[in-house]
Chain A
Amino acid sequence: MSAHAAKRPFRPNWGARAGWVLLGIYCLYAVGTLEITWPRFLIGLDNGARFLSEMVPPNFQRWKLLLEGLFETMQIAVIASAFGVALSLPIGLAAARNLMPAWATWPARAVIAVCRSFHPVIFAILFVKAVGFGPLAGILTLIFASIGFIGKLFAEAIEEISLKPVEACRAAGAPFMSLLLYAVLPQVLNRFIGFATYQFDANMRNSTMVGIVGAGGIGGTLFSAFQRFDYDILAAILLSIIALIMCSEYVATRVKAVFND
């Protein structure tokens, strides 16, 4: 018995404990920098209550403007998804290290890395400066965002394929295009469709956002309603955005179901 008492049932994990302590200290410091004070909190509550009370009931009277904005958002999402997916196919393929030589993968990976690192809004700002306000800037933005996202996933999907069929096709003397069509594509097609539908969904969400910096779509309407303190219109816009996104999510699931069986 006494021998057991000396044994430690649980080894103390000093690394983890130190991690928790550091995390706690960081939290205290970071919360300190946020300048949360009691009066500010009270004012915040007050503002929040007023804000909410002004949002209800949502004001759908300017539904024409709303519909126009939603329609433009959809246009941006559809066009950007089409071109984005079409462009990320070759770029993703070029970035796959198991099929392509280094001179092709490096530039392709660099393009993908740059597209991924910047938030779409930053692209939107630059494109608005370059091509002016309007949906064109939004479309260009989301094309780049799509390349960054699907290009990477597609390259990873190709890198995970089994190389045996590729070898077999090569042995049969197939040219490069047939190789892609018969040995590579069948292995990645399903996942690619998954990525593409997801990207359409994401573009729909993002196209509501790029309007905030002037790149077209419902986001612009949203931001101007916010700046004019028309919170009831703001609520209406938010509700319609959520509805639109839920619809697109539903459509995306259905489309995936069509291709997955």
Chain B
Amino acid sequence: MTDSATPRKWERFTPAQRLARFGVFLSMAVLLAVSMRTVSVIPEFLWDAPTQMADLFRRMWPPDTASYAENVHDALVETMNIAGMGTMLALVMALPVGVMGASNIVRVPALNWLSKLILVSSRSVNTLVWAILFVAVFGPGALAGTVAIGFRSVGFCGKLLSEALEECDKGPIEALRAAGAPWPSIFLKGYWPQIAPAFWGITLFRWDINVRESAVIGLVGAGGIGVALDTALNLFRWQQVALILLCIFAVVIAAEVLVTKIRQRII
């Protein structure tokens, strides 16, 4: 067929691609090696960890179920309220910011960037850090926790919301514009029906995450079951710690099951 002087070669990747991949792997390895060499870990502590953990669990058993009504129940309800209200607060703030970030609705690049900036800063700061900040502002309690959860969730909800808005079918929007509809009506009848399923999906998803998060923000004084956990830890009441952990586990699993069920019904 063809002259065999130059045998045809087949390669999955171009040399540049292979070089890039190799570079990535190499830098990962170097990064890992450097970290392992320099991190200040005392190996004895690591080898000792299993015995220590076993000891910890032995002291936790059996969970102190008697103290549920007295210490845990109210805190658990407060945790759920923080998660629920925090999610609501996040949605209220995420809707305008998300709309502002959707480049097909707001055609001002400066506003798009402002929205991106707000969303990224909200996501970059951890819930626990937000909680610290708001405890400083509002003092310890559920209010700080709610606002912290809200501020952390804005970034998440807003980002997904503006992505959903940007993926909207342009056709109906054009039709409503051609009918002379003012933009609030276009949003209500053109965009909203298209993003509604995504909106409820995002809400449920974030609420599920917020249930987990609101269980720990109490460690810095922002209300909820975390406060009870912190107290029990500081007093070395391990059996009470075990009870609280079990309660958190149960609530988190229940929330996840609930979200899965509602999701199946909506979609």
Which of B3-11, B28-36, B161-169, B183-191 is near enough to bind chain A? B28-36
Closest Cβ–Cβ distance, residue A118 to chain B (whole Å): 7
Q: Are A130 and B248 in contact (CB under 8 A)?
A: no
Verify B35–A131 contact, CB threshold 8 A: no
Alpha-carbon distance A33/B121, docked complex (angstroms): 29
Q: How many residues of B contact A (CB 8 A)?
A: 56
- Known A-B contacts A31-B85, A119-B213; the reply to A206 vs B49 at CB < 8 A is no
State how many angstroms separate the Cβ of A182 from the closest Cβ of chain B.
14
B220 an interface residue at 8 Å Cβ cutoff? yes
CB distance from B212 to the nearest CB of A (A): 5
A78 & B252 in contact (Cβ 8 Å cutoff): no
Measured between beta carbons, the chain A residues less than 8 angstroms from B84 are: 26, 30
Interface: B258 (CB within 8 A): no
Are A117 and B253 in touch, CB under 8 angstroms? yes
Is B195 at the interface (CB under 8 A from chain A)? no
Interface residues of chain A: helix, strand, loop or mixed (majority): helix
* Interchain CB contact under 8 A, B216 and A121: yes
Which 8 A-B pairs have CB atoms at the shortest separation, nearest pair first?
A130-B52, A75-B35, A30-B81, A121-B216, A209-B126, A48-B137, A78-B35, A242-B124
Chain B residues engaging chain A, CB cutoff 8 angstroms: 17, 20-21, 24, 28, 31-32, 35-36, 38-42, 45-46, 48-49, 52-53, 56, 78, 81, 84-85, 88, 120-121, 124-126, 128-129, 132-133, 136-139, 141-143, 146, 212-213, 215-216, 219-220, 229, 233, 245, 248-249, 252-253
Give chain A's interface residues, CB within 8 Å of chain B: 26-27, 30-31, 33-36, 40, 43-44, 47-48, 51, 71-72, 74-76, 78-79, 82, 113-114, 117-119, 121-122, 125-127, 129-132, 134-136, 139-140, 205-206, 208-209, 212-213, 219, 222-223, 226, 231, 238, 241-242, 245-246, 255, 258-259, 261
